[in-house]
Amino acid sequence: MKPGADPYDVYLSEYLNGADRKFCDAYFEKIKGAIVPLIRRVGEKRQVGNHFLKGSFAIEKQRELSKYLMEVMTLPPDHCVLGEVEHPCMIGLDINDIRITTHYYQDNLPMSLFSVIHEAGHGLYELGIQPAYRNTILKTPISSAMHESQSRFFENYIGRSEAFCGVFLPKLQEIFSDHFADVTAHELFLAVNKAEPSLIRIQADELTYSMHIVIRYEIEKMLFDGAIAVAQIPETWRHLYKEYLGVGVPDDEHSALQDVHWSGGMFGQFPVYSLGSAYAAQMLDAMKKDFDVYASVAEGNLTPIVDWLGEKIHRDGGALDVADLLLQSCGAPFDPSYYIEYLTEKFSVIYQLD
């Protein structure tokens, strides 16, 4: 960044490969204008059922499911291991050595299920960087937002698709027969896509997730601009959660204390989680023009998807900036309309919107 640059732009650029407040403002204003009304329309409809996702799920059996998911995700066991931590993450020690982690909750099967898929997406990115970049600065993915695009691509666009639900449902029925014996793939698809405003970001559904990011982004701007003091964060938080998600915040545990980013000085990182989803939507659209993505998923064959992303995204590591990488992979500059259209189409079908 140039001397005299907006301090917040400096923080944003650390995670977004040079993107600034102007870019983020335009992006968030566009998605807010579409997603907030969509959330309200969904909220007026009858909720989908997910009773079979509730109850007790033995952790040892969850570990068995995770092993199966890693195989389906094509993660090579010689170059990737799965560990258990408090907060799931992926650590790339080398382009041939990545570690993914999850956290098991006996009463919350989807948390570990989708965290494994999410972190596997991160891992596939780093495993796909071309060997020529090993031990160079280019072995690092170009931005946190692009990294997040790969994890959210697999977690949501693949993992929460009806085609993928049909793939892993038989395994769920085998491992957790008491819960899933009579469940259909369509019922599972509806359940794992249940959209309902909530208070905890990492537990948010695909539709409402970006609004959690908008709230944090707007608070960060206020802090850097001096518009609010730190002591005013809880009050501002309550106001924005009511405005964008329509929910009340009962205490600080469900407010700013749930994330470690601010206490760790990681200002400017939150936008990557939403932008990654938007990048992924545009990639999916481009991928569909090359082959039938969900037909491949329905066969349990993710290799064509991993190969496409490997050629278009992964192999280049840090050699291309985000704009050029998106142009290369999608044939067009970044456009958040793909993300909006994806969410609108998907949740209109799930909730039978007019």
Average pLDDT on 222-231 reads: 96
**What does the block give as tokens for 340?**
């909006």
Confidence of residue 191 (pLDDT cuts 50, 70, 90): very high
Q: Would you say residue 188 lies in a domain? A: yes
Q: How high is the pLDDT of residue 95? A: 86
Note the pLDDT tens digit of each residue in 155-168. 999 999 999 999 99
State which amino acid sits at residue 169. L
Candidate from 1-10, 59-68, 186-195 with smallest mean pLDDT: 1-10
Confidence of residue 74 (pLDDT cuts 50, 70, 90): very high
Q: How high is the pLDDT of residue 270? A: 97
Other beta carbons within 10 Å of 182: 9
Average pLDDT on 343-349 reads: 97
Q: Do residues 177 and 103 both lie within one domain? A: yes
**What does the block give as tokens for 290?**
């090359």
Q: Do residues 25 and 57 both lie within one domain? A: no
**Domain of 248, in residue numbers:** 7-49+197-271
The burial class, CB within 10 Å (0-12 / 13-18 / 19+), for 217 is buried
> Could you tell me what percent of the chain has a pLDDT over 70?
99
Q: What is the CATH number of the domain that holds 159?
A: 1.10.1370.30
Number of domains, the chain: 2
Enumerate the β-bridge partners of residue 101. 83
Q: Which residues contact 128 (CB under 8 A, 6 or more apart)?
A: 306, 309, 310, 313, 314, 315
CB 214 within 8 A of CB 132: no
DSSP string, 219-276: HHHHHHHTSS-GGGHHHHHHHHHHHHH-----SGGGTGGG-STTTTT-TT-THHHHHH
Q: Would you say residue 352 lies in a domain? A: no
Cα separation of 147 and 170, whole Å?
31
Confidence of residue 138 (pLDDT cuts 50, 70, 90): very high
Q: Do residues 98 and 140 both lie within one domain? A: yes
Candidate from 16-20, 82-86, 209-213, 318-322 with smallest mean pLDDT: 16-20
Of 223, 249, 271, the residue that ends a domain is: 271
CA distances for 250 relative to 237, 241, 258, 290, angstroms: 11, 11, 13, 48
Q: Would you say residue 337 lies in a domain? A: no
pLDDT at 242 over 80: yes
Q: Do residues 77 and 176 both lie within one domain? A: yes
pLDDT at 106 over 80: yes
For the whole model, what pTM was predicted? 0.95
Phi and psi based region of residue 310 (left: phi greater than 0; alpha: psi -120 to 50; beta: remaining): alpha
Q: How high is the pLDDT of residue 4? A: 77
Cα separation of 96 and 144, whole Å?
20
Query: Which of 145, 246, 240 minimizes the C-alpha distance to 195?
Result: 246
Phi and psi based region of residue 106 (left: phi greater than 0; alpha: psi -120 to 50; beta: remaining): alpha
pLDDT at 92 over 80: yes
Q: Would you say residue 277 lies in a domain? A: no
Q: Which residues contact 46 (CB under 8 A, 6 or more apart)?
A: none
In the residue annotation, 71 being an active-site residue is answered as: no
Of 271, 303, 322, the residue that ends a domain is: 271
Confidence of residue 13 (pLDDT cuts 50, 70, 90): very high
Note the pLDDT tens digit of each residue in 253-300. 889 989 989 999 999 999 999 999 999 999 999 999 999 999 999 999
Among 119, 126, 155, 206, the active-site one is 119
pLDDT at 221 over 70: yes
Q: Do residues 17 and 68 both lie within one domain? A: no
Q: Do residues 175 and 34 both lie within one domain? A: no
Q: How high is the pLDDT of residue 77? A: 92
Q: What is the mean pLDDT of the chain?
A: 95
Of 250, 271, 292, the residue that ends a domain is: 271
Q: Do residues 168 and 81 both lie within one domain? A: yes
Q: How high is the pLDDT of residue 1? A: 60
